[in-house]
Chain A
Amino acid sequence: MLSFRQLRSLSLRAWQPEWRPITLSVIATILWLLFWCDWSAWYLLPPWLHWIGFTGELGVVAYWLYWPRGCNRTLYRGILSIGFVPFWGWLTFASSSMGWHPLEKFFANVGLAAAFIIGLCWAVWYIELRSRHYELLAGQSPRVNVKRWNPLDLAAWYYGVKRQRLDQSALTLLSYCLCFLFVVLIAGKISGCREIYESPLGGGKPKKIRQTVKIQQVIKRKFVINPYSAVVFNPPPIEDIKLQIRKLTDNKYRVGYGNNPGSGFATGTTRGKVRFIRLEYAGGDWDQDLERNADLNMLLQYGIRTKQQVSDRNETREIARLKNFPAHKSPPFVYITGQRNLAIGSNDQKILREYLIEKHGLLFADNGGSGGWGGQFLQLMKEVLPTVEAKIIPLDHPVHRVPYEIPFLPYVAAHGGKDAIGWTMQGRLVAYYHPGDIGDAWADDHAGVSRKITEYCYQTGVNVMFYAHAEYHKWLAALEKEAGNQR
């Protein structure tokens, strides 16, 4: 263990001019790692800070690329190789932030392949260097009949007598692959194993939204005319006199669940935000309308209408990653859409079942464009919830009443009927299926449907999101109460 004095002298040495660049680079790298974790899992920092963090690390890389000119080529190549990682991270982050999801996937995959090859090159180079060194040592020293274990030494007993170099290369490749796989798995776990979802802290009641309009003052222009005047006046007719009404419009209603001030949920947190998570799945177009900001528009509309804190970006997750959320910090709803194939394996079905039942989640499905997708979704739900029947959700169900009263189910195109279908467990809606491409109406151009239908589509979206959050927090509140009683 280092003593306090040793630590102090080490820290002083680290800030000396010759060590300062290295110290700063290490700090920048740690910060970069934290930014990366936050971007992929924690969601605590705003996106502009991510941009600064990721771009700043590129500056550090540029400095190191500039610095060693004239020094040996191996060191320069090492810097290039290490510098590749932040560059790869920046490309992936930037394409994701710009909403170019196919490009993000491309950069992620190509970068991973490149990282594998770079690492392999370095492993081969190092093994070759060391084995040459041992060969040289063996040539200089007299032969001693000792069993050697060092894998870098070609004379190690397990390489045998023939084709030692081939055996060493094979072992190197195998070991490298295992190590790389291990690192990738660990990195994947870091970004996925500790995900949490926190709703905004606040209160409110699950009631219909009503606006308070109070007329503050009416200013009426008066025309005072002397009836005995010699001048002829032409006063305007009464209907042409414009009333200047100053309205005081205030939405007194707080959308939420609980008694805390502001709109939100009693079991939420101050840093919590409502998020919009779309599920990724294999075989189809899960990302339909994503580039047209359907999810983001809906999320922002939810924030504007409910006055709850919302995230400033939409998110996507593979179904398998739902298991990374703990039961009490899990997203109250997830969204799924598409129009082609819906291929969800039995493992993902199990995760989905656990999410819906044990984590009290809600699956918000939207038929993005074909009867086939609708049929596949209904079949999927039969497998996920085999003991629950799909039923038409009535128009006076709370999900269609609160906070907005929906007079009829709005749709863009009736791909799978004209009624919303629900799966109810213990009085709670666990899945909501919209048959008519509601996501298209949320997208930037609203699919060209009328303003009224677009508005109803947003209202339906708000209702489903709010219902999911309210039910989730009712459950959390009940759990808290139960725990309190037990104490």
Chain B
Amino acid sequence: MVSRSRKRSRKSALAFLILFLAVAPTANALGYLEQIQVETFSAMREVERYQLKIAEKHYNKNEFRIALDEYDKFLTLYEKSPGAPYAQLMWSHCQAKLRFVNTAIRDGFQSVIDYWPESQEAILACYLIGRSYDNIGQTEKAESGYLKTVNDHPEHYVATLAKVNLLHLAKVQKNEKKRMLLLANLTFETPRTKANSQYLVNATRELAAKQLYAGEYGEAIRALETTYKDGEMVKVYNDIAKGAIDHYLRGEKTRKQGIELADSVVGMVLTLIPTVIESDADRASARDAWHRVIDLYARTGRHSKVLEIHEKMIIILGEDDGLLGGLATFYRNRKLYDKARETYRRFKDKVNGLLLIAGLFCEENRYAEAIEIYQSLADRIVGQGLLAGLFRQLEKYDDAITCYKILMEIDRENINLHRWAIGECFESSNRLHNAIAAYGLVDDFPKTYFKMASCHRKLKEYKQALMLYTQCKVHAPSAPDAFMAIGFTYEEAGQASNAVRAFQLLCKNYPKSNHASRAHSHLQSKHGINVTLGGAKEE
């Protein structure tokens, strides 16, 4: 008896595993409103599952016309199958994707409700009718669809989705009263599940933010308390209050209110700091709270208090690079560069400190000191890279090229990048032949070809440029770019008729691309050519 029951349980486990493997890949690709229930799938016959999987394969590949036929076939062959409502639902999804939304509603979603009113798919269809109307701008019908979903299936996940969409419609219609009612409903009345939790959290935060803007601080806290507890609630309250504080501070009359709100938030945040700081967790929470206080004081323009807290943090928590960095940034923002440098020098990570000091010198236009620091760095790859960047910024291209050449020797892994950078330096300093040679060494087709061709165009060597662009046409994704460039090259070479031909070919061969749009306009505005060819292709 025992062995038989074991065998049976093994068999059922195997069957479940097979079933899971069969469903899992498709379930991952499809959204919640497009998935079949596992129970329904397990109740179907093998042939039915096979037919559904064929249809789904096309659906996932965005071949909606074929998928539509496959779902249609399923409905014809297996009308009595438990998967029929799902097939009908997916048929409707296909119609909607093919831009036949009214057909999807009338012949699809509504049919699911009419023929299989007790099915899970009927509930989804009820919501999808509202959403489909919403997608085509029929707001009145969409609203009634959503309301029907909320009334008929109040406990279901789609009811939350319907409420969220109603909220969006109210926002668009600028109906504040309705919006507040929906937010309150989502915050206080809608039962929370794992699935709808994120929507409800967002609604809670939105409601709290609106109440803060309206000066109803207590109500905002009450709303947040439905979702967050203690310390977490204070942090979220702080995050949301920032926007309201900025809003109040902008107005001359409301400025005082802004400062008061900031102070009240500071009071709440300070309660998060443990009275005794012993563990790392205590230190982390104290640091986070102080940073929040610093941010609030900075918003209200009380810089002396900001400095006070920075110094207090360093004294209580001990000196570390993070805290020193914060203090240095404060000095840097106040343009107290010497004090900032002094603070960077106290860094434990000396290299990082030096790099930040060099950055500060660059900010002050004291490049010689910055170069000296970069040259003194022990990590030559980093030092030479930064040096080359600085030289390029200062338009000292020869020095930059020297750095890149050194980098080519010491950092061979990224040799292509350094060659490319040398090419760019030559191009920027107008030594175009050298630039072409440098780009030619980089193995990155068709990017290098485009660059080389652009240099040839600057040198008025149009024939060479055209040859390179013609080769780029082989690379299918770059072909419209190449056609466009060929057109412009012919234009620069004074061969207007060839340019027109290139632009027309672009319009004709790639009518969907953005380049075709540009070529079409260019032909009309520059050449006065109205016969641009092109045009839509049947899809």
CA distance A27 to B392 in the complex (A): 82
List residues of B (516-539) whose CB comes within 8 Å of A's CBs. Answer: 516-517, 519-521, 524-525, 530-536, 538-539
Q: Does A135 contact B (CB under 8 A)?
A: no
Which residues on A sit within 8 Å (CB–CB) of B101?
394, 396
B530 near A443: Cβ-Cβ < 8 Å: yes
Contacts of B173 in A (CB 8 A): 387
Q: Is the CB of A424 within 8 A of B136?
A: yes
Which stretch of B194-202, B256-264, B345-353, B507-515 is in the interface? B507-515
Q: Are A292 and B136 CB-contacts (below 8 A) given A395-B100, A396-B100, A408-B539? A: no
Interface pair A392/B520, CB less than 8 Å apart: no
Residues 79-105 of chain B, each 1 if its beta carbon lies under 8 Å from chain A, else 0: 000000000000000000011111100
Residues of B within 8 A of A411 (CB): 511, 535-536
Is residue A369 contacting chain B, with contact meaning CB distance below 8 A? yes
Interface membership of B172, Cβ < 8 A: yes
Interface set, chain B 131-183, CB cutoff 8 A to A: 135-141, 172-174
Chain A's closest residue to B516 (CB) is: A413
Do A447 and B534 touch (CB < 8 A)? yes
Quick one: given A389-B172, A395-B98, A395-B99, are A449 and B517 in contact (CB under 8 Å)?
A: no
State the CA gap A407–B516 with chains docked (Å): 22
CB within 8 Å for A413 and B532 given contacts A369-B521, A371-B517, A448-B504 = yes
Closest to B174 in A: A387
The yes or no answer to A445 lying at the interface (CB within 8 A) is yes
CB distance from A207 to the nearest CB of B (A): 16
CB within 8 A of B536: which of A292, A409, A424?
A409
List residues of chain B with CB within 8 A of the CB of A436. Answer: 536
Bound CA–CA A397/B135 (angstroms):
12
Flag whether A153 is at the interface (Cβ < 8 A): no
Provide the bound-state CA to CA distance between A414 and B534, in Å.
Answer: 10
**Which residue of chain B is the closest to A408 with respect to CB atoms?**
B539
Distance in angstroms from B330 CB to nearest chain A CB is 40
Inter-subunit contact A422/B137 (CB<8 Å): yes
Q: A395-B99, A424-B137, A427-B140 are in contact. Are A414 and B517 (CB under 8 A)?
A: yes
Query: Does A9 count as interface, using CB distance less than 8 angstroms?
Result: no
- B137–A423 touching, CB < 8 Å: yes
Chain B proximity of A52: nearest CB distance (Å): 34
Q: Is A450 an interface residue (CB 8 A)?
A: yes
Q: In whole angstroms, what is the CA distance A215 to B101 when docked?
A: 38
Chain A residues within 8 Å of B534, by CB: 412-413, 447-449
Distance, CA A388 to CA B134, complexed state (A): 11
A388 to B171, CA, bound (A): 11
Closest B-chain residue to A453, C-beta based? B535
Find the A residue at minimum CB distance from B96.
A394
Determine which of A408, A412, A419 lies in contact with B532 in the assembled complex, contact meaning CB atoms within 8 Å: A412
Q: How large is the interface on B (under 10, 10 to 19, 20 to 34, 35 or more residues)?
A: 35 or more
Given contacts A449-B533, A450-B535, contact A414 B511 (CB under 8 A): yes
A415 interfacial contact with B, CB 8 Å: yes
Interface mask (A433-467 → B, CB under 8 Å = 1, otherwise 0): 00011001101010111100100100000000000
Task: Kindly state whether residue A410 has any CB partner on chain B within 8 Å.
Answer: yes
Listed residue (A369, A386, A391, A394) with the most chain B CB atoms within 10 angstroms of its CB: A394
Shortest Cβ distance from A353 into chain B, in angstroms? Answer: 15
Taking a contact as CB atoms under 8 Å apart, the answer to whether A410 and B536 are in contact is yes
Complex CA–CA separation, A423 to B504 (angstroms): 34
| Residues from chain B with Cβ under 8 Å of A440 in the complex | 520, 530, 532
Give the residues in chain B near A391, CB-CB below 8 Å.
135-137
Determine which of B138, B520, B521, B531 lies in contact with A427 in the assembled complex, contact meaning CB atoms within 8 Å: B138
Q: Quick check: is A474 within 8 A (CB to CB) of the other chain?
A: no
Instruction: Give the residue name and chain of the A residue nearest to B520 (CB).
Output: A413
Closest chain A residue to B100, Cβ basis: A396
- Which single member of A413, A414, A427, A456 contacts B141 (CB below 8 Å)? A427
Which of B100, B517, B531 sits near A413, CB closer than 8 Å? B517
Whole-angstrom CA separation of A388 from B136 in the bound complex: 12
Interface size class of A (residues with CB under 8 A): 35 or more
Cross-chain contact A419 with B514 (CB below 8 angstroms): no
Q: Which residue of A lies closest to B102 (CB)?
A: A396
How long is the Cα–Cα vector from A393 to B173 in the complex, in angstroms?
20
Q: How far is the CB of B516 from chain A (nearest CB, A)?
A: 5
Contact B138 A424 (CB under 8 A): yes
**CB pair B99 A419 closer than 8 Å:** yes
Q: Whole-angstrom distance from the CB of A10 to the nearest CB of chain B?
A: 61
* Shortest Cβ distance from residue A59 to the other chain B in the assembled complex, whole angstroms: 39
Q: Is the CB of A447 within 8 A of B535?
A: yes
Residue A339 is within 8 A (CB to CB) of chain B in the complex:
yes
Contact mask A271-298 → B, CB, 8 Å, 1/0? 0000000000000000001001000000
B103 near A396: Cβ-Cβ < 8 Å: yes
Chain B residue nearest in CB terms to A370: B521
Cross-chain contact of B524 among A369, A386, A387, A418 (Cβ < 8 A): A369
Residue-wise, chain B 439-476 has the 8 Å CB interface mask toward A (1 for contact) of: 00000000000000000000000000000000000000
Chain B positions within 8 Å of A392 at CB level: 99, 135-136
> Does the CB pair B520–A412 fall under 8 Å?
yes
A408 B536 Cβ-Cβ under 8 A: yes
A-side contacts of B100, CB under 8 Å: 394-396
User: CB-CB < 8 A to B536: which residues of A?
Assistant: 408-412, 414, 418, 436, 453, 456
Residue of A nearest to B101 (CB): A394
Chain B 376-390 near chain A by CB (<8 Å), digits 1 or 0:
000000000000000
Does the CB pair A387–B172 fall under 8 Å? yes
Nearest chain-B residue to A407 (Cβ)? B538
CB neighbours (8 Å) of A414 from chain B are 511-514, 516-517, 536
Decide: B136 and A394 in contact? CB cutoff 8 A: yes
In the assembled complex, which residues on chain B have CB atoms less than 8 Å from the CB atom of A412? 520, 532, 534-536
Q: Closest chain B residue to A421 by CB distance?
A: B137
Q: Is A426 an interface residue (CB 8 A)?
A: yes
Taking CB atoms, residues of chain A closer than 8 Å to B532 are 412-413, 440, 447-448
A447 touching B138 in the complex, CB below 8 Å, given contacts A369-B517, A409-B536, A415-B517: no
**A423 vs B535: C-alpha distance in the bound complex, in angstroms?**
25
* Nearest B-chain residue to A441, judged by Cβ: B535
Least distance between B445 CB and chain A CB atoms (Å):
28
| Docked CA distance A427–B133 (Å) | 10
Given contacts A411-B535, A412-B520, A441-B535, contact A371 B137 (CB under 8 A): no
The residues of B that contact A292 with a CB separation of less than 8 Å are 530
Known: A409-B536, A419-B99, A448-B504. Is A397-B530 also a contact (CB below 8 A)? no
Which of B174, B519, B524: most chain A Cβ within 10 A?
Answer: B524
In angstroms, how far is the closest chain B Cβ from the Cβ of A388?
A: 7
Cα–Cα distance between A448 and B538 once the two chains are bound (Å): 17
Query: How distant is the Cα of A407 from the Cα of B512 in the complex, in angstroms?
Result: 17
| Most central of A390, A407, A408 by chain B CB within 10 Å | A408
Could you tell me if A445 and B530 are in contact, using CB atoms closer than 8 angstroms?
yes
Given contacts A408-B538, A418-B512, contact A394 B520 (CB under 8 A): no
A419 to B535 CA separation, bound complex (whole angstroms): 14
A371 to B504, CA, bound (A): 19
**Are B517 and A370 in touch, CB under 8 angstroms?**
yes
Chain B nearest CB from A128 CB (Å) reads: 52
List the A side residues contacting B504 at CB < 8 Å.
448
Q: How far is the CA of A447 from the CA of B521 in the complex (A)?
A: 11
CB pair A389 B137 closer than 8 Å: yes
Quote the shortest CB–CB distance from A89 to chain B (angstroms). 32
On chain A, the residues within 8 Å of B520 by CB distance are 369, 412-413, 415, 437, 440, 447
Question: Besides the contacts A449-B533, A449-B534, what 19 more A-B pairs have beta carbons closer than 8 Å?
Answer: A289-B530, A391-B137, A395-B100, A408-B538, A411-B511, A411-B535, A412-B520, A413-B517, A413-B534, A418-B512, A418-B536, A424-B136, A445-B530, A445-B531, A447-B531, A447-B532, A448-B530, A449-B535, A453-B535
Residues of B within 8 A of A (CB): 98-103, 135-141, 172-174, 504, 507, 511-514, 516-517, 519-521, 524-525, 530-536, 538-539
Could you show 6 A-B contacts with beta carbons less than 8 Å apart?
A: A391-B137, A414-B512, A424-B137, A427-B140, A448-B530, A448-B533
**3 shortest interchain CB distances as A-B pairs:** A449-B535, A448-B531, A424-B137
